[in-house]
């Protein structure tokens, strides 16, 4: 959403102090630089942005893409061909970091034969001081490093790098700033993520997010509504409201407002058809929200409600601030109010001190709740978090055995839960032409299940009634109802 005419910016004047004007100035500046380089090499300059991790990062990447396109770079599918390669990193589990180092090794190889290529790293992993130290020491070929708090300054950082030949590093510890109205390029024309808050104040003892994403900050409801109205005017029919803990949205605003109230405002937007949100912390999920979901015609029938562990003893050590019983009561309340709700969850196996009895409590919750799907994670020790120094780390063999048992149970249940809709008609938003078979398109149901059906690209972005002919475990084969 470009609110400023870049061509009219006077680059001989000093950079404006205020945002977002300052960033538009640097977009214009970088654009002039990129146009010059393109002329020199006789072709357009290209980029790739690779996203690791969660929906938040995916949304941040859209902002990076929007800015790069304004600067005059063209998106390229093949990383090896690109002039500017960006990794938007995740650090929630150790293996995410390892993947980035592995890929950087490969990029180094390519850069040796293509010296003008630029490499940029951003996202949660860059907020860890040890990571930046390691990059500075052993990965000197990286051009640009920045963190999660100053992503809005991307244009300024690119302009700085284009004008110098040195590694540019700008990582902030925290921020209370939210910059509105910067460009962004959506991956899908018909659906979009919308940040409603940033950061997290919960400090679950295993989790690094509060350290790398900073304290909770909510956007003003007016800014959120304005953004969604613009998106809808631009053809968006489904939005996903994003925050680490959407249920505590609005508590710290000058004029506090609940997440449920925000949803009611969003619901009123004409032309918007579907509302999703992510993620909900069970401790903050209010009766008011359940009531709003029950009465809504736009909020999708899906709730992601991470349990993490079914053992009250482990939940306490995790600092989750609910018990197994409270969680199960909450699930009962939701299922009673919204019987067709689909529930999904996150579960960590092998948290320090987890015994077989604790693990069986988790299995018990899985059997009782009967999740539509569950993301299962092996506990990963994150330096700096309280859990990292807890004694009694569980042995890898025991974790592997529990993980396999949990996964088998989760998959068996989700296949059964998914199958109950077989033979019914449900509305799907058609999202894409199927990668494997171009005669098929893929749609998403309100409950987040996917359905594949005969169709073509003209159906993309449409909400259509679909006959769910056959359940294939985690998805459906269907047919559009004429």
CB of 380 to ligand 5AD, least distance (A): 4
Q: Please return the burial class of 482, using the count of CB atoms within 10 Å of its CB with bins 0-12, 13-18 and 19+.
A: exposed
Residue 365 contacts which entry, ligand 5AD, ligand SF4, none (Cβ below 5-8 A, type-dependent): none
Binding site for ligand SF4 (CB under 6 A): 200, 202-204, 207, 209-210, 244-245, 281
Measured between alpha carbons, how far is 371 from 364 in angstroms, rounded to an integer?
12
Measured between alpha carbons, how far is 76 from 80 in angstroms, rounded to an integer?
9
CB of 442 to ligand SF4, least distance (A): 29
Please provide the DSSP assignment of 278-298 as one string.
E---GGG--HHHHHHHHH-SS
Strand partners, 477: 452, 470
- The backbone torsions φ and ψ at residue 138, rounded to the nearest 5 degrees and listed phi first, read -110, -5
Give me the residue whose beta carbon is nearest to ligand 5AD. Answer: 346
Binding segment toward ligand 5AD, per CB under 6 A, in 14-22, 263-271, 379-387, 448-456: 379-387
- Which is nearer to ligand SF4, 120 or 199 (by Cβ)? 199
Q: Is 300 annotated as a binding residue?
A: no
Closest by CA to 435, choosing from 411, 419, 457, is: 457
Q: Is 200 annotated as a binding residue?
A: yes
- Which is nearer to ligand SF4, 23 or 202 (by Cβ)? 202
Binding segment toward ligand 5AD, per CB under 6 A, in 333-341, 373-381, 393-401, 437-445: 373-381
Binding segment toward ligand 5AD, per CB under 6 A, in 73-81, 125-133, 294-302, 378-386: 378-386
CB of 245 to ligand 5AD, least distance (A): 10
Record the tokens describing residue 439, joined without a space. 């005669």
Q: Say what the alpha-carbon torsion angle 401, 407, 409, 411 is, to the nearest 10 degrees.
A: -160
User: Residue 348 interacts with ligand 5AD (CB under 6 A)?
Assistant: yes
CB atoms within 10 A of CB 466: 23
CA distances, 374 to each of 43, 229, 343, 474 (Å): 47, 33, 9, 12
- Which is nearer to ligand SF4, 245 or 258 (by Cβ)? 245
Q: Please return the burial class of 116, using the count of CB atoms within 10 Å of its CB with bins 0-12, 13-18 and 19+.
A: exposed
- Which is nearer to ligand 5AD, 46 or 279 (by Cβ)? 279
Residue 244 contacts which entry, ligand SF4, ligand 5AD, none (Cβ below 5-8 A, type-dependent): ligand SF4
Q: Is 54 annotated as a binding residue?
A: yes
> Residue 191 contacts by C-beta under 8 Å, 6 or more apart in sequence?
236, 237, 238, 239, 240, 274, 429, 431
Q: Which of 9, 34, 86, 92 forms a contact with ligand 5AD (CB under 6 A)? A: 92
> Residue 422 contacts by C-beta under 8 Å, 6 or more apart in sequence?
468, 469, 470, 471, 476
- Which is nearer to ligand 5AD, 347 or 459 (by Cβ)? 347
Strand partners, 458: none
- Which is nearer to ligand SF4, 244 or 447 (by Cβ)? 244
- Which is nearer to ligand 5AD, 384 or 423 (by Cβ)? 384
Please give the residues from 300 up to 319 whose contact with ligand 5AD meets the rule CB under 6 A: 306, 308
Element (H, E) at 333: helix 324-337
User: Residue 346 interacts with ligand 5AD (CB under 6 A)?
Assistant: yes
- Which is nearer to ligand SF4, 208 or 231 (by Cβ)? 208
Q: Please return the burial class of 397, using the count of CB atoms within 10 Å of its CB with bins 0-12, 13-18 and 19+.
A: exposed
Residue 348 contacts which entry, ligand SF4, ligand 5AD, none (Cβ below 5-8 A, type-dependent): ligand 5AD
What residue numbers does the annotated binding site for [4Fe-4S] cluster cover? 54, 90, 124, 200, 204, 207
**Residues in contact with ligand 5AD by the rule CB under 6 A:** 92-93, 206-207, 306, 308, 346, 348, 377, 379-380, 382
What residue numbers does the annotated binding site cover? 54, 90, 124, 200, 204, 207
């Amino acid at each position: 959403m470009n609110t400023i005419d870049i061509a009219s910016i006077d680059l001989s004047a000093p950079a404006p102090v205020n945002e977002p004007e300052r960033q538009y100035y640097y977009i214009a500046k970088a654009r002039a630089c990129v146009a010059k380089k393109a002329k020199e090499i006789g072709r357009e300059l290209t980029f790739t942005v690779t996203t690791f991790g969660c929906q938040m990062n995916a949304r941040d990447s859209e902002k990076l893409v929007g800015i790069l396109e304004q600067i005059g770079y063209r998106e390229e599918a093949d990383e090896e061909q690109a002039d500017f390669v960006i990794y938007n990193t995740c650090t929630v589990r150790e293996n995410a970091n390892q993947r980035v180092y592995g890929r950087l090794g490969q990029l180094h190889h390519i850069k040796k034969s293509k010296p003008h290529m630029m490499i940029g790293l951003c996202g949660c992993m860059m907020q860890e001081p040890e990571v930046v130290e390691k990059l500075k020491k052993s990965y000197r070929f990286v051009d640009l490093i920045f963190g999660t708090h100053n992503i809005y300054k991307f244009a300024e950082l690119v302009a700085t790098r284009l004008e110098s030949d040195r590694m540019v590093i700008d990582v902030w510890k925290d921020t209370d700033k939210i910059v509105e109205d910067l460009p962004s390029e959506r991956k899908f024309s018909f659906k979009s993520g919308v940040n409603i808050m940033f950061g997290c104040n919960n400090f679950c003892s295993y989790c690094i997010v509060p350290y790398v994403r900073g304290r909770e900050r909510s956007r003003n409801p007016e800014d959120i509504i304005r953004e969604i109205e613009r998106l809808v005017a631009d053809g968006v029919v489904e939005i996903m409201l994003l925050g680490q803990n959407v249920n505590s949205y609005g508590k710290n605003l000058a004029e506090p407002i609940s997440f449920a109230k925000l949803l009611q405002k969003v619901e009123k937007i004409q032309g918007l058809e579907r509302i999703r949100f992510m993620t909900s912390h069970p401790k903050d999920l209010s009766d008011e929200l359940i009531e709003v979901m029950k009465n809504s015609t736009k909020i999708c029938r899906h709730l992601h409600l991470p349990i993490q562990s079914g053992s009250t003893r482990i939940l306490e050590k995790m600092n989750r601030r609910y018990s197994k019983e409270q969680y199960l009561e909450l699930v009962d309340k939701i299922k009673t109010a919204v019987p067709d709700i689909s529930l999904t969850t996150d579960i960590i196996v092998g948290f320090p001190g987890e015994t077989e009895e604790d693990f069986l409590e988790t299995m018990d919750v899985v059997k009782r709740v009967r999740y539509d799907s569950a993301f299962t994670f092996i506990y990963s020790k994150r330096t700096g978090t309280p859990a990292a120094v807890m004694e009694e780390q569980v042995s890898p063999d025991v974790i592997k055995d529990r993980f396999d048992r949990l996964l088998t149970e989760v998959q068996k249940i989700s296949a059964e839960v998914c199958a109950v809709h077989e033979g019914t008609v449900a509305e799907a938003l058609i999202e894409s032409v199927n990668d494997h078979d171009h005669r098929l398109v893929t749609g998403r149901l309100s409950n987040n299940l996917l359905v594949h059906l005969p169709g073509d690209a003209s159906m993309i972005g449409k909400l259509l009634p679909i006959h769910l002919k056959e359940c294939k475990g985690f998805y459906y084969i269907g047919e559009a109802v004429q």
